[in-house]
Structure 1
Amino acid sequence: MQQKIMLCVLLVTTACSRADHFGKPPSFTPTMNNSEHYAMMNPPIPLASDRPVAREKASLWSKNRQSLLGDRRAMQRGDILTVVIEIDEEAKISNQTNRSRSGSEKMAVPALVGIPQVAGQHMPEGSSLDPAIDLNSSGKSNGSGAVRRQEELTLRIAATVVDVLPNGILSIEGSQEVRVNFEMRELLVTGFVRPEDVSRQNQITYDKIASARVSYGGRGQITDVQQPRYGQQALDMVLPF
């Protein structure tokens, strides 16, 4: 009974995910009440050192972020920075293995106190104790493999600082959706950034993001057709051939 209920829940969940764009374009993900929106709506409490003193308010060289020469790089929760993703990688792996083994064993009993001669009289025709045991074995295996991958991706996305860790590291998260006709293109990026790695243009490249997670995909009617059905995926996992 429980298995039937779980199966029904799975089928309903699958149908609901596809029903979002049944006969209409996919819906955008809500931008309210997510982690980025929360970080922007709840900025950190400013420290006493961050508050400008009276003499800095009238100075042209104030370190205030709104001044002419102020540092406008993202450094606190709710700030926005640009993530530049430029991936152009190629990997080639090739290996080959050869292994061979051979063995031979032979034991003969031509004379043992006359036992071979006496035993030979009672053995079937063609049988003999000379040799008594003769074994030969050999083995050989060859293996080869090659892997070649090539990836190229160039993207830019605005990410939000959702948290500042105790050691000053910035936790960032960004999402971007573009809808064209009945297909939705999605780009997601998360990771951890050192404030000093953010350039003066308030940008950072993906290779300076620790624990970077980049997802580039989509959803819609075309994506549904390209993906095999859930039943086929389940059979691919179970069937041995």
Structure 2
Amino acid sequence: MREYLGLIATMALGACGGLDQVGKAPDFSQSVGSDEYYAMMSPPLPERLDTPTPGDRASLWEAGQRSLLGDRRAAKKGDILTVVISINDSAAISDTSQRARSGSGQMSIDALFGLPERVAENGGPSLSPGVKTGSASTSQGSGSVKRSEKLTLRIAATVVQTLPNGILAISGTQEVRVNFELRELRITGYVRPEDISRQNEITYDKIASARISYGGRGQITDVQQPRYGQQIADKLLPF
């Protein structure tokens, strides 16, 4: 009995965990303490001694990212670039399989110390064939998959780490709240500096180990999700 009471109390506490959001819009995630925050706040690595020094700041031909003709692409920790997500995929798969198999076997006893003849003289059943087997099996299956996805988004990501081989690790988050529903977009991955365009943009298909998450939280999302009890029952019930 105590075990059941403990389970009920645990489920009640879990259900009360979201009561603080009743009547309020979902809160934004804190940007302080994120990977982007630490990447921007940490000091950059010291420049190499053979790096050319910028020219006179009054000159139009000054070197550096902030100059008029300088390379403004993200290149070091803390820099920001734009990730263009344009997914328009569709897949259709249809499979059909059919299998049939049959087998038979027969063994006769022609002579066994005169036993077949004696059985026949006494009017008993014949011993030929002595053993006879047969089997047959058939199977048939079919399946189909049809999927279509379309997503067009743009998000600003931050270079959070420069790997020893020059690859840039990026991470970006974006949150937009409309009434009582919060839309979340997150992306992480690794990019090559040469894949970043002159407009400081990169497409999602050039990001290695890309992890793109697009979802939301709020009142509408809560209604669409099954209750905790139903989720537990779906995991435990075998049928």
Q: Place the TM-score, normalised by the shorter chain, in its bin.
A: 0.7 to 0.9
What is the SS of the residue equivalent to 1:212? strand
Q: 1:177-232 deviations in whole A, cap 9, x for unaligned?
A: 11111111110001111111111111110001111000000011111111111221
Q: CA distance change for structure 1 residues 226 and 89 in 2, over 3 Å: closer, same or farther?
A: same
**What residue number does 2:72 align with?**
72
Q: 1:68-99 deviations in whole A, cap 9, x for unaligned?
A: 10111111111111110000111122222222
Query: C-alpha displacement at 1:159, in angstroms?
Result: 0.7
Pairing 1:146–2:130 present: no
**May I ask how many residue pairs the two structures share in their alignment?**
237
Q: 1:88-126 deviations in whole A, cap 9, x for unaligned?
A: 111122222222211111223355453123235678x6x
Q: CA distance change for structure 1 residues 4 and 83 in 2, over 3 Å: closer, same or farther?
A: farther
Q: TM-score, normalised by structure 2?
A: 0.87
Q: CA distance change for structure 1 residues 222 and 33 in 2, over 3 Å: closer, same or farther?
A: same
Query: C-alpha displacement at 1:239, in angstroms?
Result: 1.7
CA distance in 1, matches of 2:3, 2:165: 48
Equivalent residues in 2 for 1:1-241, closer than 5 Å: 12=13, 15-16=16-17, 18-47=18-47, 48-49=49-50, 52-53=53-54, 55-109=55-109, 112-120=112-120, 127-241=125-239
* Structure 2 unaligned residues grouped into runs of 5+: none
The code of the aligned residue for 1:39 comes to: A
CA distance in 1, matches of 2:5, 2:43: 48
Query: C-alpha displacement at 1:10, in angstroms?
Result: 7.1
Q: CA distance change for structure 1 residues 19 and 62 in 2, over 3 Å: closer, same or farther?
A: same
What is the SS of the residue equivalent to 2:21? coil
CA distance in 2, matches of 1:82, 1:202: 6
Q: TM-score, normalised by structure 1?
A: 0.87
Q: CA distance change for structure 1 residues 9 and 147 in 2, over 3 Å: closer, same or farther?
A: same
Q: Is the 8 A contact 1:86 1:155 kept in 2?
A: yes
Q: CA distance change for structure 1 residues 15 and 167 in 2, over 3 Å: closer, same or farther?
A: farther
Question: Identity over aligned residues, as a percent?
Answer: 55
Q: Is the 8 A contact 1:43 1:78 kept in 2?
A: no
* Structure 1 unaligned residues grouped into runs of 5+: none
CA distance in 1, matches of 2:207, 2:31: 24
Q: Is the 8 A contact 1:26 1:183 kept in 2?
A: yes
Q: CA distance change for structure 1 residues 70 and 20 in 2, over 3 Å: closer, same or farther?
A: farther
What is the SS of the residue equivalent to 1:233? helix
Instruction: Tell me how large the CA RMSD over aligned residues is.
Output: 2.6
Q: Is the 8 A contact 1:92 1:149 kept in 2?
A: yes
CA distance in 1, matches of 2:153, 2:199: 17
CA distance in 1, matches of 2:12, 2:41: 38
What is the SS of the residue equivalent to 1:83? strand
Query: C-alpha displacement at 1:157, in angstroms?
Result: 0.6
Q: Is the 8 A contact 1:20 1:26 kept in 2?
A: no
What is the SS of the residue equivalent to 1:154? strand
CA distance in 2, matches of 1:7, 1:195: 55
The code of the aligned residue for 1:161 comes to: V
What is the SS of the residue equivalent to 1:171? strand
